[in-house]
C-alpha cells in the first residue's frame, strides 16, 4: 500500500513537473514541483457554503455562493487561503474555489480539492483520517446568550451547568460543553448554523457555544438583542484548540502548506490578517 | 406420481443452483470490494470495530429517544389518519367541504418534505413568542411526524375502506343500520384488518424518519452518530445507529409477513369473505 502511494506520489510529481515545463511561459512555472495539486497549474481550495463572516466577508454574492464568494479575498480564511496560495506560487487567477460540505471534507477516497479551509479544529482522532496543516488560527470558545435572560447574569463556568446549552454539530464547541461545562441538561446539537441560531433566537436554548469570531458575528448580525457572555480560556495542559486546513492523508502538499503557514506566522502576515478581519473578536470577558 | 417425484428432484436441483449462484455472486462482490485499492481506508472509516464498540453504548441510549418519538407518534397517527379517512369517505353533498379539506390536507402533507414541516414547526412555532406554546424540538418533531404520516396512513385506510364491496354497505343499511353504525360495525373492522401490512410498512418508515428530529438539535441515535462521526472523522458510528434501527425493523417486517400469510390462510380456508 505504502509502495503504491509512493509510486503514485512520484508519478504525480513527475506529471506536475511535466506540466510545469509545458506551461513554463505562465505564472504557474513558479510553482514548486514537489507540491503537486489536483489540477496542474491550479490550486483548488474547498470550503462550505454558505461561507459565513468573519471567515469570508465582503458580501459578494454569486448564484453559487449565497452569503460570500470566497474568491473575493475578503474575510480571514479567504485572505489566509490566498496568502498560502501566494507562498506556493499561485496567483489569484490560478486559485479555484470549490464547494465542499464539512461532512465530505473527511470522506475517504480521492479528494476534489487541494486543501479545505473551513474552521476545522484539529483533534488527534481526526488527524488519523485526514492531514491537518499547522494552525492558522488559535481559537477560543465563547458563549452567546439573549440579553435579559437568567443565564445573562452568570459569571462562571460552574454557573452555566444548570442551563440548556447548544452547539452546532461537528464543532469542538460541543466537545467543550461536554468536557468543560458538563451541563445537567442534555445539550442541543443542531446540524446547521441556521438552526443553531434559530434555537437561540427563539430561546429554545439558553446559550449557544461557538468560537469567538463566530460569536461576534452571531451577536452583531444573526441574533438581535444577544450578547457574548464570555469566552473560555484555552487551559494549559490541554491541547490548544486550533484551526488547520484539511488535506488528503499523505498528501505531499501538506509540507508545502505548513512551510507557507510558518512563514506567514513568523513574518506577521497572519497577525495582520487577524487584525483586519477578526479585530473585534478579542474583547470578551473570560469565564472561569 | 412419477411427475411429482421428478419435479421434486428438479426443485432440489434448482435450489442447489440458486444457492451456488448466490454464493458465487456474493463472493465475487466481496472479492471486488476487498481488492479495491481504497478498501483498507473504507474498512478503517466505515467498518471499524474499535469505533463501533466505542460509540454503540451512547448511541443505544440516544436510540431510546427515537423509540419514544415513534411510539407516541404512531398512536396519534393511527387515530388521526382514521379520522381523515372517515372524513373523506363521507357521502352526500352536505359533506363536500369536509371531504375537500381532507383531500387538500393529504395532498399538501404528502407533498411537503418532512424536514421542512419539522423545521417550520420546531423552529417556527416557538418563534411566535407565545408563552403557552411549547418550545421543545422533540414535541414539535412528534407533531410534525404525526401531520405528515397521517396523510400517508389516511390514504392506506381509505384504500382499505374502498376495498370493501359496496354490497356490504347496502346490506347493512337495508338491515336498518345508520351510516355511522355501518362504518363502525361493518366496514372499518374489515378494512383495517386488510391494511395492516401497509400500515406496518408506514410504521417502519416513521421509525427511520425520527432521525430528522435530530437535525434540529435533539440528540437521537442518528444525531449522536453524527456527533461521533464528526468528532473522529470516522463513519462507523452510523453503522452503530443502523444496527439499532434494523434490529427493530426486521422483526417488524417478519411479523408483517406472518400477518399477511395468516390472512391468506384464513381466506383460502373459505372462512372469510
- pLDDT digit string, tens, across residues B140-159: 999 999 999 999 999 999 99
pLDDT score recorded for residue A58? 86
Q: Which pLDDT score, from 0 to 100, does residue A220 have?
A: 87
Cell (9 digits) for B76: 396519534
Q: How far apart are CA A8 and CA A122, in angstroms?
A: 27
Give the one of B40, B217, B226 whose C-beta lies nearest to A199's C-beta. B217
Average pLDDT, chain A: 87
On the question of pLDDT at A238 being above 60, the answer is no
Average of per-residue pLDDT across B79-106: 92
Please, are residues A54 and A124 in contact by the beta-carbon 8 Å criterion? no
pLDDT at B131: 85
Does residue A148 surpass a pLDDT of 80?
yes
pLDDT of residue B218: 95
CATH topology identical between A2-137+242-281 and A140-232? yes
Q: Which CATH class is domain A140-232?
A: alpha beta
pLDDT tier, A235 (very low <50, low <70, confident <90, very high otherwise): low
Domain ranges of chain A: 2-137+242-281, 140-232
Q: Given pLDDT bands bounded at 50, 70 and 90, which one contains residue A286?
A: confident
Locate the chain B residue with the closest alpha carbon to A107.
B233
For the CA atoms of B260, B262, B264, B266, what is the dihedral angle to 10 degrees? -150
Three cell numbers written together for B132: 403557552
On the question of pLDDT at A142 being above 60, the answer is: yes
CATH superfamily, region A2-137+242-281: Periplasmic binding protein-like II (3.40.190.10)
A183 at interface of B, judged by CB pairs closer than 8 A:
no
Give yes or no for B133 touching A (CB within 8 A): no
**Using the beta-carbon criterion (under 8 Å), do B40 and A1 form an inter-chain contact?**
yes
- Whether residue B212 is predicted with pLDDT greater than 90 in this model: the reply is yes
CA dihedral A266, A270, A271, A272 (to 10 degrees): 120
Of A129, A189, A203, the CB nearest to B223: A189
Disruptive mutation site among A164, A190, A223, A251 for chain B (greatest number of B CBs within 10 Å): A190
Judge whether B120 is closer than 8 Å to chain A, CB to CB.
no
B123 CB neighbours in chain A (<8 A) are 195, 198-199, 202, 204
More reliable by pLDDT, B179 or B240: B240
Q: What share of chain A is helix, strand, coil (3-state, %, to 5)?
A: 40, 15, 45
CB contact under 8 A, B233 and A166: no
Q: Please, which pLDDT band fits residue B271 given cuts at 50, 70 and 90? A: low
What residues in A contact B226, CB-CB < 8 Å?
169-170, 191
Domain residue limits, chain B: 67-220
Residue A23: predicted pLDDT: 45
Chain A nearest CA to B118, separation (Å): 11
Mean pLDDT (whole number) for A228-251: 82
pLDDT grade for B5, boundaries at 50, 70 and 90: very low
CATH T-level topology, domain B67-220: MetI-like fold (1.10.3720)
pLDDT of residue A245: 96
A230: DSSP letter: E
Q: What pLDDT is attached to residue A7?
A: 53
The answer to whether residues A126 and A73 touch, using CB atoms and an 8 Å cutoff, is: no
Does the beta-carbon distance from B217 to A190 stay under 8 Å? yes
Which whole number is the average pLDDT over B12-32? 92
Amino acid at each position: 500500500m505504502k509502495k503504491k502511494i509512493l509510486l503514485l506520489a512520484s508519478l504525480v510529481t513527475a506529471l506536475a513537473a511535466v506540466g510545469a515545463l509545458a506551461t513554463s511561459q505562465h505564472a504557474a512555472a513558479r510553482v514548486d514541483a514537489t507540491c503537486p495539486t489536483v489540477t496542474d497549474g491550479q490550486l483548488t481550495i474547498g470550503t462550505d457554503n454558505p461561507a459565513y463572516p468573519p471567515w469570508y466577508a465582503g458580501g459578494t454574492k454569486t448564484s453559487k455562493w449565497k452569503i460570500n464568494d470566497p474568491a473575493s479575498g475578503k474575510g480571514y480564511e479567504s485572505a489566509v487561503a490566498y496568502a498560502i496560495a501566494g507562498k506556493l506560487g499561485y496567483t489569484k487567477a490560478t486559485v479555484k474555489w470549490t464547494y465542499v460540505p464539512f461532512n465530505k471534507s473527511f470522506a475517504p477516497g480521492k479528494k476534489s480539492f487541494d486543501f479545505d479551509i473551513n474552521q476545522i479544529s484539529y483533534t488527534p482522532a481526526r488527524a488519523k483520517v485526514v492531514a491537518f496543516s499547522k494552525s492558522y488560527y488559535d481559537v477560543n470558545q465563547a458563549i452567546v446568550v439573549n440579553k435579559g435572560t437568567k443565564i445573562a447574569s452568570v459569571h462562571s463556568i460552574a454557573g452555566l451547568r444548570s442551563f440548556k446549552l447548544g452547539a452546532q454539530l461537528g464543532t469542538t464547541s460541543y466537545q467543550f460543553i461536554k468536557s468543560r461545562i458538563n451541563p445537567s441538561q442534555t445539550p442541543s446539537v443542531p446540524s446547521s448554523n441556521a438552526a443553531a441560531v434559530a434555537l437561540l433566537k427563539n430561546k429554545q436554548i439558553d446559550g449557544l457555544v461557538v468560537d469567538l469570531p463566530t460569536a461576534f458575528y452571531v451577536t452583531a448580525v444573526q441574533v438581535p438583542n444577544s450578547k457574548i457572555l464570555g469566552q473560555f480560556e484555552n487551559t494549559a495542559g490541554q491541547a490548544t484548540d486550533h484551526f488547520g486546513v484539511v488535506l488528503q492523508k499523505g498528501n505531499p502538499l501538506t509540507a508545502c502548506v505548513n512551510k507557507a503557514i510558518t512563514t506567514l506566522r513568523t513574518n506577521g502576515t497572519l497577525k495582520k490578517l487577524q487584525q483586519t478581519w477578526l479585530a473585534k473578536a478579542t474583547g470578551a470577558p473570560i469565564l472561569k | 406420481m412419477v411427475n411429482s417425484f421428478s419435479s421434486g428432484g428438479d426443485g432440489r436441483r434448482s435450489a442447489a443452483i440458486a444457492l451456488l449462484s448466490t454464493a458465487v455472486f456474493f463472493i465475487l462482490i466481496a472479492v471486488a470490494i476487498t481488492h479495491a485499492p481504497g478498501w483498507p481506508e473504507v474498512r478503517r472509516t466505515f467498518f471499524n470495530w474499535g469505533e463501533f464498540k466505542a460509540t454503540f453504548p451512547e448511541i443505544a441510549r440516544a436510540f431510546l429517544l427515537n423509540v419514544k418519538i415513534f411510539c407516541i407518534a404512531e398512536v396519534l397517527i393511527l387515530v388521526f389518519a382514521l379520522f381523515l379517512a372517515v372524513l373523506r369517505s363521507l357521502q352526500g353533498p352536505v359533506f363536500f367541504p369536509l371531504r375537500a379539506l381532507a383531500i387538500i390536507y393529504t395532498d399538501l402533507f404528502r407533498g411537503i418534505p418532512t424536514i421542512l414541516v419539522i423545521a417550520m414547526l420546531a423552529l417556527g412555532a416557538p418563534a411566535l413568542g407565545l408563552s403557552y406554546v411549547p418550545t421543545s424540538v422533540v414535541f414539535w418533531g412528534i407533531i410534525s411526524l404525526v401531520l405528515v404520516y397521517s396523510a400517508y396512513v389516511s390514504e392506506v385506510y381509505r384504500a382499505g375502506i374502498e376495498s370493501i364491496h359496496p354490497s356490504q354497505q347496502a346490506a347493512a343499511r337495508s338491515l336498518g343500520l345508520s351510516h355511522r353504525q355501518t362504518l363502525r360495525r361493518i366496514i372499518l373492522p374489515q378494512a383495517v384488518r386488510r391494511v395492516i401490512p401497509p400500515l406496518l410498512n408506514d410504521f417502519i418508515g416513521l421509525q427511520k424518519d425520527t432521525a430528522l428530529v435530530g437535525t434540529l438539535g435533539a440528540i437521537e441515535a442518528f444525531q449522536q452518530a453524527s456527533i461521533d462521526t464528526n468528532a473522529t472523522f470516522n463513519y462507523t458510528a452510523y453503522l452503530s445507529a443502523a444496527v439499532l434501527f434494523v434490529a427493530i425493523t426486521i422483526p417488524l417486517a417478519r411479523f408483517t409477513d406472518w400477518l399477511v400469510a395468516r390472512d391468506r390462510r384464513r381466506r383460502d380456508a373459505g372462512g372469510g369473505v
